[in-house]
Structure 1
């Protein structure tokens, strides 16, 4: 599903963000990526999405060799990967329904299908009846639910969650984690970068720890393991 083979990334300023990374994530796994600031988590995610190019090595995402992928094919790669961000990144002038529908419209999805699918995904994330409100009328947790719905509306096989609970209180964070767990149980591979020690320790999922761009730990049932 996702495989890094001897992947290194050195930026032009000389910083080695990834150093000989070898990781294989199977279909349907739920994996936490942990590590202190500057450990390489952001570069790891950007390399999967081909936002940055590996200096050496190969990256495979859902049978696509990302390292050899032509730029014009990158949008097709990103259709395979839903992304949820810490800061939600919703369109403020569009309603909840319109934010989610837009992710389908840019792929040319017929309106009939959109009208059917959007209410279904809103139900999945617990926001039935919120389709006509705007992002600024929602709580942070509700906005993150919309972000998850938007990321999942085209049914990608992979979901990347980049610090999805970073701006949320603990109770709301657990509500978001329950949604992600449900999505994972339906077969979606989830890769979540986080600093939330409690979530990682309680969830007991696979934990890949990065330090200075290298894989320091890769535990099938892991813990966070840092004090920051």
Structure 2
């Protein structure tokens, strides 16, 4: 599903963000990416999304070698990868329904299908009845649920969650993790970057730890393992 083969990324300022990384993530896995600030987590994610190009090596996403991917094909790659961010990134002037529907409209989905699918995804994330409200009328946890719904509305095989609980209290964080676990159990491959020790330690999923651009650990059932 996702594979890094001898991948290195050196920025123009000389920083080696990834250093000969070899990782293979299978379809349907739930994987935590952990490590201290500056370890390479953000570059790892940006590489999968083709936001940065690697210096050496190959990156495969859903059987496509994206290191050779022409720029005009990048939007099609990103349709395969839903992304959830720490800061939600919802459109403030659109309702919950419109935020989610927009992700379908930009790829040309028929309105009849949109009207059918949006309520279904709202039910999945526990927001039935919230379609007509605006983001600023929602709690942080509810806004993150909308972000997840928007990321999943086009049924991508991969979901990247970049610090999705970073702005949430512990109880709300666990509500978000339950939703992600449900999505994973339905077959979606989930890659989650996090600093949340408690979540990683309790979930007991695969943990890939990065340090200074290197893979320091890759544990099939792992723990967070850092003091920060």
Query: TM-score if structure 1 supplies the norm length?
Result: 1.00
* Cross-structure match for 2:122: 122
Q: In the alignment, does 2:172 pair up with 1:175? A: no
- CA-CA distance at 1:151 after TM superposition: 0.1
Matches within 5 A, 1:99-110: 99-110=99-110
Q: Deviations over 1:21-48 (max 9, x none)?
A: 0000000000000000000000000000
Secondary structure (helix, strand or coil) at the match of 1:20 reads strand
Matches within 5 A, 1:207-218: 207-218=207-218
User: Using the alignment, how far apart are the partners of 1:50 and 1:111 within structure 2?
Assistant: 30
- CA-CA distance at 1:163 after TM superposition: 0.1
Matches within 5 A, 1:55-70: 55-70=55-70
* Cross-structure match for 1:141: 141
Compute the RMSD of aligned alpha carbons. Answer: 0.2
Instruction: Flag as ranges the 4+ runs of structure 1 deviating above 3 A.
Output: none
- CA-CA distance at 1:140 after TM superposition: 0.1
- CA-CA distance at 1:56 after TM superposition: 0.1
Secondary structure (helix, strand or coil) at the match of 2:176 reads helix
- CA-CA distance at 1:77 after TM superposition: 0.1
* Cross-structure match for 1:225: 225
Unaligned 5+ runs, structure 1:
none
Secondary structure (helix, strand or coil) at the match of 1:75 reads helix
Secondary structure (helix, strand or coil) at the match of 1:192 reads strand
Q: Size of the alignment, in residue pairs?
A: 228
Matches within 5 A, 1:20-169: 20-169=20-169
User: Using the alignment, how far apart are the partners of 1:10 and 1:108 within structure 2?
Assistant: 37
Query: TM-score if structure 2 supplies the norm length?
Result: 1.00
Q: In the alignment, does 2:3 pair up with 1:3? A: yes
